[in-house]
Each structure stands twice: as structure tokens, then as C-alpha cells.
């Protein structure tokens, strides 16, 4: 009876059943591998890492070594199989016998007395046939967060024997909001069965994405009069350089292209620009003027 071929892959990290899993042909992709491992745990992060295992190969070359020619002294062969010479390459280290004559079938080894010096042959690594120890191949990181759809080619998700899938654990991501906010606003998050409140810092939920508008609302945004309508997101790039992103909260409410998703470590500054100062000052003057007018009119009617 014909049986389906299988591919053994290693699944590690935050899955229910980490280890080696056999996937049948035509089902040997990343999704089936994660499903075979029992799916994600509650501590799984927001990405999947795929590390490819390079297929084994043998590098062959022509043998042209000075060791193939016997080192003669007074007509006797000075070759021995008891001493060896190590040759190091970028990928591996292997041992070549001193008495090796350059053929892979067999070689003649005549023991040499210890008292007699044995010449050390100089063999170029490119002239030796060997089986290198190959490292893992290229890796692929697939993000599970964000609104953007990741387009992957079939050959990117198909797994081969020896491939390794790693599901990293989630990190307790924190972002910060600074500016004119309500001092009475408090947001509490449940973390490991405990409530935690960390002042101006907020934990990014793992079960949903948070954009800038939502982040400001969580932090206690009051209204366009008492709170600025523009923010600047301070973000540290992977190379360590800061990146400043300007977001208009009014435009972002109607157009998703005007906002961005909050990342761990982001600092959101509410910009106290001149427009906000003008609105706030005008509102205060108008409020006092109306209050004074109402108070004057009320006093006038009471005195009559």
C-alpha cells in the first residue's frame, strides 16, 4: 500500500505541544505545523519565525595535494597514519591523516618511529573532499499584528525537512501619553490575573490593535477645547534613531490613513499649538463674558 510521505519539522516556543511534528505532503506548511503543535498559548507573541534548514550538499574538487607524493628520505617512505593534520574551514573542521595518498579508496600507511620527525603536509582546504556542517538557512519573520495584509509566496510557507518554527513569547508592551489630559481618568489593565496601573504608561492589549486615537482616548482625552487636536508620536527605530510622526486627531477619526498603530515604547505628545491656545483662550473669555452678562442681567431683574 502506498503511504503519504511526511516531513519532520521542529516547532518551538509558545505552542501547546512543542517538539518535532511529522507533516504529510501537501500539508507541510506553517499553518499546519502550528496546528499540529496544538496552536498558540496565551503567552504567544505577535509573530512567527521560520528558520530554514539548508539541504545537505557535498563539495567535491580535484585532488592535487603534495601529500599524494610520498615524502622520501633515503629511499624510504615517511608516511604514517598515527599522526594527523587539522584543516579548518569557514564551515567545519576535519582531520586529514598524514599518510593519506590523495585517494578515497585506501592509502598505504607505514608507521614512523617517534624519534624521526614527520613532515606536516600543507593542504589547501579547496583541494579536499569533505562534508561540511551547514548552518541554518535564511529566516523569515511573519507579523500577526497590523491592518496590512502580508502577501507570501507559496514557496515561503512550504516547509522542508529540518525547518524550525519558533513562536516567541509576548512582551509586556508599554506606551506613554503626555499632555493636557483629564487628571481623573484612570485605565486599569488585567495582567496575569492582577490589575495594574502604571501612571502615564499604558499596556498594549494583545488581543487587539490600538491606534493613536484610541490611545489618546484611553489616556483621558477631554475634548478639542481642553485637549490639543494634534499629537506627535516619538518612536525609536531599530537603528536607535528617533522618528517623529505627526497625527491630526480630527482627520484620523474619519480616515484610517491619517493614523498609525501604537507600538511598544511609543511616546505620544499632545501638541499645545497656537490653534489650541487660541480655542482655549477664546472659550475662557467667552465663558466669562456670558457669565458676567447673565449675572448682570439677573441682578438687574432682581433689583426691579
39 and 146 together in one domain? yes
Dist CA 236 CA 242 (whole Å): 5
**CATH number assigned to the domain comprising residue 255:** 3.10.560
Pairwise CA distance, residues 236 & 224, whole Å: 28
Whether 295 is in a domain gets the answer no
pLDDT for residue 18: 92
pLDDT at residue number 228: 78
- Residues whose CB falls within 8 Å of the CB of residue 73, separated by 6 or more in sequence, listed in order: none
Q: What is the pLDDT of residues 120-167, one digit of tens each?
A: 555 444 443 433 334 455 788 888 876 666 778 888 889 988 899 999
One domain, residues 124 and 217 = no
C-alpha separations of 163 from 23, 29, 43, 139, 212 in Å: 12, 11, 23, 10, 38
- Contacts of 161 by beta carbon, 8 Å cutoff, 6+ apart: 7, 8, 9, 53
**Contact between 37 and 16 (Cβ < 8 Å):** yes
**What is the torsion angle, in degrees rounded to the nearest 10, for the CA atoms of residue 290, residue 227, residue 271 and residue 230?**
-100
200 and 110 in a common domain: no
Pair 255, 185 in one domain = yes
Q: How many domains does the chain have?
A: 3
Residue 46: Cβ within 10 Å count: 17
The burial of 253, by beta-carbon neighbours within 10 Å (0-12 exposed, 13-18 middle, 19 or more buried), is given as exposed
For residue 257, what pLDDT is reported? 86
Q: Is 116 helix (H, G, I), strand (E, B) or coil?
A: coil
Residue 32's domain spans which residues?
6-56+135-167
Residue segments in the chain with a per-residue pLDDT below the cut of 70: 1-3, 54-137, 146-149, 172, 182-200, 222-226, 274, 276-280, 282-283, 295-304
302 assigned to some structural domain: no
Together in a domain, 19 and 123: no
99 and 185 assigned to the same domain: no
Establish if 279 belongs to a structural domain. Answer: no
Query: Do the domain assignments include residue 192?
Result: yes
Are residues 51 and 184 located together in one domain of the fold?
Answer: no
Buried b (16+ CB within 10 A) or exposed e, 126-161: ebbebeeeeeeeeeeeeeeeeeeeeeeeeeebebee
Report which secondary-structure segment, H or E, holds 65.
none
Amino acid at each position: 500500500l502506498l503511504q503519504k510521505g511526511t516531513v519532520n519539522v521542529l516547532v518551538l516556543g509558545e505552542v501547546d505541544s512543542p517538539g518535532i511534528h511529522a507533516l504529510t505532503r501537501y500539508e507541510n506548511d506553517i499553518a499546519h505545523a502550528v496546528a499540529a503543535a496544538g496552536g498558540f498559548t496565551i503567552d504567544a507573541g505577535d509573530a512567527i519565525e521560520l528558520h530554514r534548514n539548508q539541504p545537505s550538499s557535498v563539495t567535491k574538487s580535484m585532488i592535487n595535494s603534495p601529500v599524494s607524493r610520498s615524502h622520501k628520505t633515503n629511499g624510504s617512505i615517511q608516511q604514517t597514519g598515527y599522526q594527523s593534520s587539522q584543516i579548518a574551514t569557514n564551515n567545519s573542521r576535519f582531520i586529514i591523516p598524514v599518510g593519506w595518498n590523495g585517494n578515497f579508496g585506501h592509502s598505504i600507511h607505514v608507521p614512523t618511529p617517534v624519534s624521526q620527525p614527520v613532515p606536516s603536509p600543507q593542504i589547501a582546504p579547496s583541494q579536499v573532499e569533505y562534508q561540511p556542517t551547514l548552518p541554518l538557512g535564511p529566516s523569515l519573520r511573519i507579523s500577526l499584528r497590523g491592518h496590512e495584509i502580508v502577501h507570501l509566496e507559496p514557496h515561503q510557507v512550504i516547509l522542508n525537512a529540518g525547518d524550525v518554527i519558533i513562536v516567541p513569547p509576548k512582551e509586556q508592551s508599554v506606551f506613554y501619553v503626555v499632555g493636557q489630559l483629564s487628571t481623573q481618568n484612570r485605565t486599569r489593565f488585567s495582567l496575569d490575573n492582577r490589575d495594574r496601573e502604571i501612571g502615564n504608561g499604558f499596556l498594549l492589549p494583545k488581543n487587539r490593535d490600538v491606534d493613536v486615537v484610541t490611545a489618546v482616548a484611553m489616556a483621558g482625552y477631554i475634548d478639542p477645547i481642553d485637549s490639543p487636536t494634534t499629537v506627535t508620536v516619538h518612536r525609536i527605530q531599530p537603528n536607535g534613531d528617533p522618528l517623529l510622526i505627526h497625527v491630526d486627531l480630527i482627520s484620523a477619526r474619519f480616515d484610517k490613513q491619517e493614523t498609525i498603530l501604537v507600538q511598544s515604547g511609543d511616546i505620544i505628545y499632545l501638541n499645545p499649538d497656537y490653534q489650541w491656545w487660541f480655542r482655549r483662550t477664546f472659550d475662557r473669555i467667552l465663558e466669562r463674558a456670558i457669565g458676567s452678562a447673565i449675572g448682570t442681567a439677573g441682578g438687574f431683574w432682581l433689583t426691579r
